[in-house]
Amino acid sequence: MRKKRGLACAVVSMACVTSFASPARADEPVDVKLPPAAPPPSGPAPAEPQPATSTPEPQEAWHVAAGIGTDFPMALGARAHVEAPWRMRASLSVGFLPRAYVSAINAFLIGIHAYSDATGDLIKDSVGNSLIWRLHLGYRPFEKLGLYGELGYGFVGLGGSASTAELIAGITGQPLPERANALAGRFEFGCKSVLHMFDIEIGYDIPIADRFQLRVAIGAGLTFASKTTLDAKFIGKDPAILRKLESLAANYLDDVYTSYVFTPVLSVSGSYLFL
């Protein structure tokens, strides 16, 4: 009897020990201790990365300039040019033909035996007043250089007078006898000529100060058409002879202009840049 009671007590004791030693149930919270968090680093916070942005390309601008200068030996006057984006350009010059320039043209053409001294005198006296304008289109190929090229049209309007003696001497190439020359010299013809020219020009724009630039260029003016009219300033005994002389002289001058007036041109001008 006593053995049975001792065995039962031993079983109960083992059960109690086993229940205390068994792990916690799944639904019971487990106290897990984590190591303390590291303190934040000292100093400024790192900059956040910025999204990459593309740099916009510089936009081409319009340029407008105007000034004065010379296209020797063609004209003395004013000039303006406009340059569009991507460096396309247009220019307009308006001026007059000084007498000194006419003498320079004559000296050059007489020097190369293009025509005689008598023809040179006829041309010089036929240019009492003048109007010249030139319209060009061109391109400046290099963005950072002032080098450009232009092609265009030139209009030359000439007006003056010539004596009968000068007309006859110019047409024939021979001066009149002294008495005939004195008599014919008293009778004058009004003379008007229009020349149409093809222009070519290569130049360079040089900045010299804020908004000021210097233009230097070389080129040529090539006459491709001419129209001359003469009108007698006196009444002759035989109008038919006057009309014949007018026609002969006009045709002669047109032939001279279209055959020999191919003029090299040196251009220099200063301008103010508005844009």
Cβ neighbors of 253 (< 8 A, separation 6 or more) are 122, 123, 126, 170, 191, 193, 226, 228
Q: Residue 184 belongs to what domain range?
A: 63-273
pLDDT value of residue 26 = 46
Residue 113 falls inside a structural domain: yes
How big is the chain by its Cα radius of gyration, in Å?
A: 49
Number of structural domains in the chain = 1
**What is the distance between the alpha carbons of residues 136 and 94, in angstroms, rounded to a whole number?**
12
| Nearest alpha-carbon partner for 107 in 93, 119, 96, 95 | 119
**What is the distance between the alpha carbons of residues 177 and 196, in angstroms, rounded to a whole number?**
36
Instruction: Write out residues in the chain with pLDDT < 70, as ranges.
Output: 1-60, 165-166, 168-170, 172-186, 236-238
Residue 103 falls inside a structural domain: yes
**What is the distance between the alpha carbons of residues 228 and 258, in angstroms, rounded to a whole number?**
11
Residue 78 falls inside a structural domain: yes
pLDDT value of residue 80 = 97
Is the N-terminal amide bond of 141 cis, ω within 30° of 0? no
CATH number of residue 228's parent domain: 2.40.160.20
pLDDT value of residue 187 = 72
Residue 15 falls inside a structural domain: no
Q: Does the pTM of the predicted model rise above 0.75?
A: no
pLDDT value of residue 47 = 59
Tell me which residue has tokens 């956040």: 48
Residue 37 falls inside a structural domain: no
HSE-CB of 83 using CA atoms within 13 angstroms: 20
List the end-to-end C-alpha distance of the chain, in Å, as a whole number.
Answer: 127
pLDDT value of residue 61 = 84
CA separation (Å) from 80 to 91, 152, 271? Answer: 6, 14, 8
**What is the distance between the alpha carbons of residues 133 and 77, in angstroms, rounded to a whole number?**
9
Residue 38 falls inside a structural domain: no
Residue 34 falls inside a structural domain: no
Residue 188 falls inside a structural domain: yes
Q: Are strands 75-83 and 63-72 parallel, antiparallel or unpaired?
A: antiparallel
